[in-house]
Amino acid sequence: MKISRRSFGAIAAALSLALPGVAAAHTPSSRPMKKLIKPPRLKRGDTVGLIAPGGYTTDRAIEKAVRNIEALGFKVKTGAYLREVFGNYAGSVQQRLADLHAMFLDPDVKAIWPIRGGSGCISLLSGLDYGLIRRNPKVLVGYSDITALHLAILKQTGLVTFHGPVASSTMTPYSLDHMMAVLTEPQAGYTIPMSQENAQRAASEPHFGVHTFTHGVATGPLMGGNLSLVAALAGTPYAADIKDSILFLEEVNEAPYRIDRWMTQLDLAGGFRNAAALVVGICENCGPEHEDISLTLERTLGLHLHPLTIPAVSGYSIGHIRNQFTLPMGIQARIDTKAQTITLLESAVT
């Protein structure tokens, strides 16, 4: 489904019916968490909680997600409100919060895997019980709209979460191997190379090719996600901490002028020059719209990446693509632009 992220309006707040697991709004801290909390690693036979914190889902997608989870040797527990529909959201804010909180509370659930992104996660942030999450650290993995949860949870609790496939993704050996290595094997020095299939596609689809604007090696905590969400949270208590980070960004189904606007907003808010490195993933279907006179995606990215003296690249295997690798948020990593690798310098799970 092609979904635009031109705006992130808040959902009308409270239904009069109180739902279990929904906490009162908290007072967020704008100060970043200094100590990371790493969740326990996943093991075969563990139970994975399947929820929809953003966009609505379908029975077909649920069946696919359950097959994906069970094929990895895990059990599945579905959220009570997984099949709810409220506009284009998967239920009301209260229902989606209730499912997320219930999965963190459940001692049998060892990981939480959103079925999709879509839109709507940003509306959960002020209602999340961050104390509950901090006391019950678990694996949370997903991408796209799940970026809002990743950034907020890291900022408010220090919990390492994982920017990777959603539960209904079409899994490839590349994406599966790297995701499982990060989630199940506590190890430092794990190196993630680029996908060879993505490199081969670059011959006919140039945006799949790696483009290095500034070569170099840099270290720093991994930070970022979907560009529109990272930009939307700039200036809020849930904003990405760009300073000294390896900032990674990706987008899908957006015209270059919107990419330019969001990149400019982030640069104004945090200053790309203050990052340790800037990594743009594969921005699928982000070329000029056919009726528009427009810069290309590559020239648009160049406006922001060319002036930088820090390592700056595009086309890494991150994004709304089949072959994507999983990045643990907040973990210290090293990027080497000549080798085209990202190395995790510490384990992401315990």
> Mind telling me the catalytic residues?
144, 250, 320
Are 115 and 61 in contact, with CB atoms under 8 Å apart?
Answer: yes
End-to-end CA distance of the chain: 36
Angle at 128 between CA 164 and CA 150, to 5 degrees: 20
DSSP codes, 43-108: -TT-EEEEE-SSB---HHHHHHHHHHHHHTT-EEEE-TTTT--BTTBSS-HHHHHHHHHHHHH-TT
Residues contacting residue 7 through CB under 8 Å, at least 6 positions apart:
none
Place of tokens 């909180």: 101
- CA 104 to CA 108: how far, in whole Å? 10
Alpha helices in the chain, H assignment, sequence order: 59-71, 93-105, 130-135, 147-157, 173-184, 196-201, 227-232, 256-270, 297-305
Is the CB of residue 75 less than 8 Å from the CB of residue 47? yes
Question: Distances from the Cα of 324 to the Cαs of 84, 196, 313, 334, in angstroms?
Answer: 29, 11, 16, 18
Phi and psi at 163, nearest 5°, equal -85, 100
User: 314, 292, 279: which is closest to 206 by C-alpha?
Assistant: 314
Tokens standing for 158? 């220090």
At residue 143, what is the residue type?
Y
Q: How many CB atoms lie within 10 A of CB 343?
A: 18
Cα separations in angstroms, 187 against 34, 59, 182, 183, 343 = 21, 37, 8, 10, 11
